[in-house]
Amino acid sequence: MTRVPPLQFDPIDRAAQLWESHWPGEQPEVYASMRAVTSVMRAHQILLARLDAMLRPYGITFSRYEALVLLTHSQRGALSLSKIGERLQVHATSVTNVIDRLEAAGLVRREPNPQDGRGVLAVITDEGRSVAAKATAELNAARFALGALDEPQLAALFDILRDLRLDAEDFAGD
């Protein structure tokens, strides 16, 4: 895979400068917000690409990894698809797609939910546990692609993003 050489300037900073010149007179927070949200979106792209590249040898993506880890941490290695969607905060269609892919790879299997006659459980297989363990070791060693940040920076980033999530009522605070 050929790497594209890095730009010789920060495109987000350049875009913000253009933003300011096209919409002068806004509050400074508007320009800072534009820079911040664009940076968060770009960081998301970068991190997801790096994480998916690390997980590719295991035949999974980061979203599939999250589902495997969730199942690994569950008491019985099994959860309903609706519970997986709730915990991962994704739409039911996304959960179905992830479980379909994991099942096709032999990492999970579907079983009827004994507590809900119409429901289905995703159950992690021994191979799924093995893949989750190996992938976790790799991600831990790479510090989840966040090696450029030290522990205080990571804690500050978490706190900032947690405030954003709280404001969006992503979860019910402490």
Q: How much of the chain is helix, strand and coil, in % rounded to 5?
A: 65, 10, 25
Distance of CA 113 to the CA centre of its chain: 27
User: 60-137 has which fold?
Assistant: Arc Repressor Mutant, subunit A (1.10.10)
Helix (H) or strand (E) holding 123: strand 116-124
**Residue 112 pairs with which residues in a beta bridge?**
120
Each residue's pLDDT tens digit, 120-165: 999 999 999 999 999 999 999 999 999 999 999 999 999 999 999 9
Burial-class residue 97 by CB neighbours within 10 Å (0-12, 13-18, 19+). Answer: middle
Is the pTM higher than 0.85? The answer reads yes
Helix (H) or strand (E) holding 32: helix 28-55
Per-residue pLDDT reduced to its tens digit, 52-64: 999 999 999 999 9
Provide the token pair at 50.
Answer: 């790096």
Q: Give the residue extent of every domain in the chain.
A: 12-20+27-58, 60-137
Strands (E) in 17-115, as ranges, are 78-80, 108-113
Tell me, what's the pLDDT at 163? 95
76-97 pLDDT, tens digit per residue, is 999 999 999 999 999 999 999 9
